[in-house]
A and B are shown apart, each in its own frame.
Chain A
Amino acid sequence: MTDTDYTPLPVAPDSHKDTETERYHTFVNLALILAAITGIELVLVYMPFHPIFIFTSLLALSLFKFVAVVAWFMHLIYDKLILTLAFGTGMVIATGTFVALGFLLSSNWVDVDAITQF
């Protein structure tokens, strides 16, 4: 496979190229931010802070990473609202399932010894 096989694609309009160039800078900045946050998360668990503070910080940082990737890398902020709703519905059900199971199967409600014996 050489460059002679290369078939140039139809040229995109200039305005579209400008938009993509603008997004390129956004992607670079976001990648740097995500890498930095991952580094912060790694350091945070070894810091002598209160466990609740570390837990909350980790939760907030990972949520930020999640939203940032969905919004910019996955283009959701540039796309139609219905796509956000399609994905958001799944997210809401997933989160709801987690919360509901968390409450239903919390150690206060479940007799762990009885289950273990069984």
Chain B
Amino acid sequence: MSDTEHQEDGHGSLVINNKKLLMWLFLGSDCMFFGTLISTHLIYRKLYPESYDPLLVFDLELTSFSTFILLMSSFLMALAVSAMHKGELKSFRRNTIGVIFFGLIFLACQVYEFAHFTNEGLTLSTNTFGSTFYMMTGTHGVHVAIGVFWLICLYFYSYTGKMNAHESAIDVEVAGLYWHFVDIVWIIIFTAVYLIEYIPGLH
């Protein structure tokens, strides 16, 4: 009996599924990657507080909306994983489409935000704030785009009739882990990069 068969219910066995373990290890390493990007941004922000005033370009309402959208997409992703574990393919498709839709809205908001910032004169090479900000949020955006692409692939794959409750539940769960990770990274970025700038007298 393979480890995958042991992992039939996804939770209750003694053996850990290899795909799931690898994804968690990857997410641990990705934590370090984003940790470095966020650290760099915050440290340069502290070293050069006068280099740029982000309140000139930030739009907190838009960013809060993006955050809300990403949180709700995470909720739908959890439902999609749950549906797969129950073997409910229709419910899985419905929730996955919701996640894809929300992911695309988030990306659209980010493209709009970047375009707005560029029009206001903040580019990658303007100053240290621009460099670290675009690098960090851009990397996160690429992660979201990869997640959306992955989910679109899973959605269409569900129509091939090749999905089975054992393997596919784990595959969807692994995709879900990736999506949730993208969400938690944004939770940190939202607070550490956007909200903190609005606290009067902190800098």
Contacts and interface: CB of A to CB of B under 8 A. Distances in A.
Interface of A: 1, 5-13, 16-17, 19-20, 23-24, 27-28, 30-31, 34-35, 38, 41-42, 45-46, 51, 54-55, 58-59, 61-62, 65-66, 69-70, 72-75, 78-80, 82-83, 86-91, 93-95, 97-98, 101-102, 105-107, 110, 112, 115-116
Given A8-B89, A45-B199, 10 more contacts: A6-B90, A12-B86, A31-B74, A34-B75, A45-B198, A55-B202, A58-B195, A69-B180, A70-B180, A73-B180
A9 B164 contact: yes
B39 A97 contact: yes
B184 A27 contact: no
A97 B35 contact: yes
A10 B146 CA distance: 30
B79 A83 contact: no
Given A73-B77, A101-B39, A82 B16 contact: yes
A91 B27 CA distance: 9
Interface residues on B, range: 35 or more
B111 interface: no
B31 to A, nearest CB: 4
Interface of B: 9, 11, 16, 20-21, 24-25, 27-32, 34-36, 38-40, 42-43, 46-48, 60, 64, 67-68, 71-72, 74-75, 77-79, 81-82, 85-90, 159, 161, 163-165, 168, 173, 176-177, 180-181, 183-184, 187-188, 190-192, 195-196, 198-202
Contacts, number: 178
Interface class of chain B by DSSP: helix
Contacts of A58: 191, 195-196, 199
Nearest to A59: B191
- Chain B CB count within 10 A is highest, among A20, A46, A112, for A20
A13 B64 CA distance: 41
6 contacts: A24-B79, A45-B60, A73-B78, A90-B28, A97-B39, A98-B38
A93 B25 CA distance: 13
Nearest to B46: A107
A1 B31 contact: no
Contacts of B75: 27-28, 30-31, 34, 73
Contact of A9 (B24, B30, B163): B163
